[in-house]
Amino acid sequence: QVQLVQSGVEVKKPGASVKVSCKASGYTFSSYGIDWVRQAPGQGLEWVGWISPNSGNTRQAPNFQGRVTMTTDTVTNTVYMELGNLRYDDTAVYYCARDGVGQWPTGKFDCWGQGTLVTVAS
């Protein structure tokens, strides 16, 4: 079955970087885009960005441009999201989610990872 499994809890200091992984299985990895969505405690969903494992093309939300890097490893079917210059308000659960088959993020996320809690604290 289609599955996305994310890496574990992270605790980082302000100004540091965090790298979260998302390992896909159960489908042809290169065929579907992967998005990252975060949710701060008690808050709503916020789109971070998207990557195409096929082309390596990425799109980022305006709030994250210059601070987020998304990469893929087609050998291990893993997507990575690195967020730099962390601030206290980056504390959130970060989800990866499978998008559609096109070369553009669609917002149709039919499978989600379990989420990774990233806490920024001094």
Partner 1 sequence: QSVLTQPPSASGTPGQRVTISCSGSSSNIGSNIVNWYQQFPGTAPKLLIYSTNQRPSGVPGRFSGSKSGTSASLAISGLQSEDEADYYCVTWDNSLNGFLVFGAGTKLTVL
List contacts with partner 1 (CB under 8 A): 35, 37, 44-47, 50, 59-62, 95, 97, 105-110, 112-115
Pick between residue 53 and residue 105 the one whose CB is nearest to partner 1.
105
Residue 73 token pair = 């490893």
In angstroms, what is the minimal distance from the CB of 3 to partner 1? Answer: 12
| Integer Cα distance of 41 and 75 in angstroms | 34
Q: Which residue has the tokens 């917002």?
A: 107
In angstroms, what is the minimal distance from the CB of 14 to partner 1? Answer: 24
Q: To 5 degrees, how large is the angle CA 43–CA 99–CA 103?
A: 125
In angstroms, what is the minimal distance from the CB of 13 to partner 1? Answer: 26
| Integer Cα distance of 16 and 50 in angstroms | 22
Pick between residue 114 and residue 122 the one whose CB is nearest to partner 1.
114
